[in-house]
Amino acid sequence: MDHVKQFYIGGQWVAPRTDTTLEVVNPATEQPITSIAMGGAADVAAAVAAAKAAFETFSQTTRQERLDLLDSVVAVYTRRLEELADIISQEMGAPLSLARAAQAVAGLGQLGTARAVLADFEFERPLGGTLVAREPVGVCGLITPWNWPLNQIACKVGPALATGCTMVLKPSEVAPLNAILFAEILDEAGVPAGVFNLVNGDGLGVGAPLSAHPDVDMVSFTGSTRAGIEVARAAAPTVKRVAQELGGKSANIILDDADLQAVITRDVGNMCTNSGQSCNAPSRMLVPAARMDEAAAIAAEAARNIVVGDPREETTRIGPVVSATQYGRIQQLIEKGIGEGAKVEVGGPGKPEGLETGYFVRPTVFSHVSNDMTIAREEIFGPVLVLIGYEDDDDAVRIANDTLYGLSGYISGSADRAKAMARRLRTGNVHLNGAGPDFNAPFGGYRQSGNGREWGALGFEEYLETKAIMGYNA
């Protein structure tokens, strides 16, 4: 890693304006990988100035020029895919198999989706004598998390490039190395100077001044609801656009006509993927109350079969959680669940046997949980599943919607019942009978899970302003 002590500003790798550094720690070994430079307001100002200057020309590029640019980015990204997967596995603990098959590939998929939307997008249309034009929103501040880092970087950078915007990226300081590689990829691909800029740092030092900067026209933020509120507050005085993808506590409704053995086994695995560190994880499993003990036994057996261990081992299903801070929070919430009377079916506090080093969490299943318990209300962000009983379909919908969040939902059972129930859930996404994510579909949430959408055409449109030119077609 040649550029860990530098930022990418104006098409150049430059020295930071402060001498503050931060260790990047491998969560499987608890040992530092390297140290990165940490930026501040002066670095943000330089990056924003570069983006503002570049916008004058980049915003006027043709569709074909931007298509060619995205093709070049995809080509370089593809060549460095293994390198990206390797560094993600090291810095945030994802099993190397998951980093290869999902983490790194997701970024490539998001870039490809942006390119496909650009190819056919209608930027102008007549409306009587008026021309309605869609134009790039301007300079974008992009703030991304550590849990699916390249997916979240690419689903912002891709449409920003495709629409003719310029940008400043602040990746998570917990897992920043993949973003440095991403900047190297864009540089090699020929992204014009100033169009893409990278400044590493924390929320207070970089995120806040980026959100507040008067020359930033839009902030796209992915992270916790708590941090999203602070981003919105910082952005409010300059009345810029704010798009947010925040937390979740998604309900997974198992209907009484579903195959409990197959569905619960599948969904325990899905919940624990990425060590449970997904904002849309199906972390509240709603099961028929009369079959709670049966469901709990199936879930416990599925959790016991999940191999936790070294991310480098091919047999490992889940690695550690990302940091000591995250590990400590998960342990506190597990203890809270025990204290509030939930039944531990498997797992519980502490680390898996034989894994004393590393931030490893035991896959944990709580049964007989009521929806007012802390573990049913708060986003745990670890491999911890709660089972909640319901009486009938109406009760299941009531429990599912009884949350501050509304990011995703899951329903398994007969198709007609599942489809009807999906329309009643107050959530931005619903997965029926094991359906996976769709990069062409909008991704985002209701209520405190955020505003705006990412992915596909609707995510693309977040980076556009609308202009009406009257008399254009007179």
Point out the residues that are catalytic: 245, 279
3-state secondary structure the chain: CCCCCCEEECCEEECCCCCCEEEEEECCCCEEEEEEECCCHHHHHHHHHHHHHHHHHHCCCCHHHHHHHHHHHHHHHHHCHHHHHHHHHHHHCCCHHHHHHHHHHHHHHHHHHHHHHHHHCCCEEEECCEEEEEEECCEEEEECCCCCHHHHHHHHHHHHHHHCCEEEEECCCCCCHHHHHHHHHHHHHCCCCCCEEECCCCHHHHHHHHHHCCCCCEEEEECCHHHHHHHHHHHHHHCCEEEEECCCCCEEEECCCCCHHHHHHHHHHHHHHHHHCCCCCCCEEEEEHHHHHHHHHHHHHHHHCCCECCCCCCCCCECCCCCHHHHHHHHHHHHHHHHCCCEEEECCCCCCCCCCCCCCCCCEEEEEECCCCHHHHCCCCCCEEEEEEECCHHHHHHHHHCCCCCCCEEEECCHHHHHHHHCCCCCCCCEECCCCCCCCCCECCCHHHEECCECHHHHHHCCEEEEEECCCCC
**Angle, alpha carbons 259-264-267 (nearest 5°):** 125
59: left (phi over 0), alpha (psi -120 to 50) or beta: alpha
The torsion defined by the Cα of 192, 194, 200 and 204, in degrees rounded to 10, comes to -150
Single-letter amino acid, residue 18: T
Task: Compute the residue count for the chain.
Answer: 474
Q: Using CA atoms, how far apart are residues 173 and 222, in angstroms rounded to an integer?
A: 14
Residue 245 in tokens: 């993808």
Q: Using CA atoms, how far apart are residues 205 and 213, in angstroms rounded to an integer?
A: 13
Note whether 92 and 278 are within 8 A (CB): no
Say which residues have a Cβ less than 8 Å from residue 6's Cβ, sequence separation at least 6. Answer: 13, 14, 15, 16, 37
